[in-house]
Structure 1
Amino acid sequence: MILFSRTALIDPEIQLSAQRLSTRFSFFGLGFATAAWAPLIPFAQQRLHFNHADFGLLLLCGGLGAMLAMPATGKIVQRIGCRVPIGFALLLLAVLLPSLSLLSTPLMMAITLFLFGTAAGSLGVALNIQAVVVEKNSLKSLMSGFHGMASLGGLAGVLTITALLALSISAVMSAFAVSLLLVIIIFLSVPYSIKAVENTSLEASSKVKKSIRQRLPQPLIILIGIACFIIFMVEGAAMDWSGIYLTQQYGVNTTFAGLAYTFFAIAMTTGR
């Protein structure tokens, strides 16, 4: 499906409109893919026969992948733009999600979760860089709407998997269905992502040696970082453990485990 013709994209305003739409679709895809994993988590723990402590260590692999990918992606985007990292990360999420619903060995699950976290972290950084550029060029506030699309995608992802499981469709086939939808999102968004990002770093200042004190982030940046750490920790705990808590503490069927994160996603989407 072609939303904008190549000829039309020569017009700067139409091109900017295409980039805005592309960014919204990509944010939706990020939320859609990551939240779709939440209802599958209790199934993974049952397949592996892990206790909470061992399973918690396994889930850390995803966070580790994201932490390593985030700083590297910023440098990659400065060199090759947003299009390739966004497309590659979305495609990797689409490929890995069915694997997370199928693998039954701890080592392969750990590797797959690491790659899944790498893709999600890389996609988040590349998308936010693109969102900043698009918002700046649009001369109006767009960031909250972009992030709102990620929340909406998360709600759609967890609802889709939960609904398919409720219809007695297997976890593997449900994950494949989400991956197919992700491929459609890739075709809608990636062609209109930003090819190149202007390097905003000042070359002159980069040549000047800075003291250790000058290199340290400002207190406000540290405060924002702490706030983000707390928020993401809460969101991650809700995604990783709410379904397990619902099934093991209240005896809810694993098929409906996604309902726990569904209501969390509803609250998050409404708040944004």
Structure 2
Amino acid sequence: MELKTILVTGANSGIGYQTALTLAKQGHHVIIHGRNEQKVKTALAEIKEQSGNEAIDSVTADLSLMSEVKKLADHIKNKYDHLDTLINNAGSQMGKERIVTAEGHEKTMAINTFAPLLLSKSLLSLLTKSADGRIITVSSASYNQGTSDQYLDDIELEHSYAFGRAYGLSKLYVLWGMWHLNRELQEKGIKNVTVNCMEPGSALTHLGSEQAQSRPLWMKILLVLWLPMIRNPKIPGATNAWLATSNDVHGLTGMFFDSRGRIEKENRQYYSQENDQKLWDYCMKICEPFLK
């Protein structure tokens, strides 16, 4: 197997941790990202010990802030001469109250939608230097909760916030955004970078754990009832690693994979070029100041 340089966001726990550990055991040069420096250091030490691979680096950044995403991208560009794979794994859920970041954005959208798009665009210069550059973004089947186009005039839900709606729409919007990015690359003739998304299924992770107490009561009850059906994060972690490295998916782009690596047919009920462009323009208005 050809060894690759791979950045995994949100890799200090859950699916991201299992993704990074799997890749490290295969001998790849893995860069793990997290928001909490101490947790990242702990994960780094554990992955090195369990894999026997010393070619593991770490970086910290708060992906709810676009200025931090830019710093992360700048760090990667200054330290590495190329990047083979970017795995946009980091994600979060907020609570029943709408939270606005220091930069003025609804926090769910900032982490789940704007950050992956900004990071992917920012690192294209390194990904294009790879003979087989790959962008893999973790979405969610929850995007089906956000398949209506009625919120495109209120993308950050300033007037219509709800816990499930924010999460579902953020996963829908990042899916649309990655389709758009893929189309841009194809139109520019960039054939050596593929853009795919994956749905991890219900896995036991720390997603949104810091806001767990502020979730609606119905969600807390649902999570308890759902626990017996939640799978080990090793399963989607292994799929992420496979999507990042396998020759089986070489050249495949614009796809949506399930947690076992099977291609799914997406729900495109409200997808249109007009809606796509409206969302893309909104996201790029946020991202462009940090791309200069």
Query: TM-score by structure 1 length?
Result: 0.32
Q: Which has the higher strand share?
A: 2
Structure number, greater radius of gyration: 1
Query: Which structure carries more relative contact order (alpha carbon 8 Å, separation 6+)?
Result: 1
**Higher share in helix:** 1
Q: What TM-score do the two structures reach when normalised by structure 2? A: 0.30
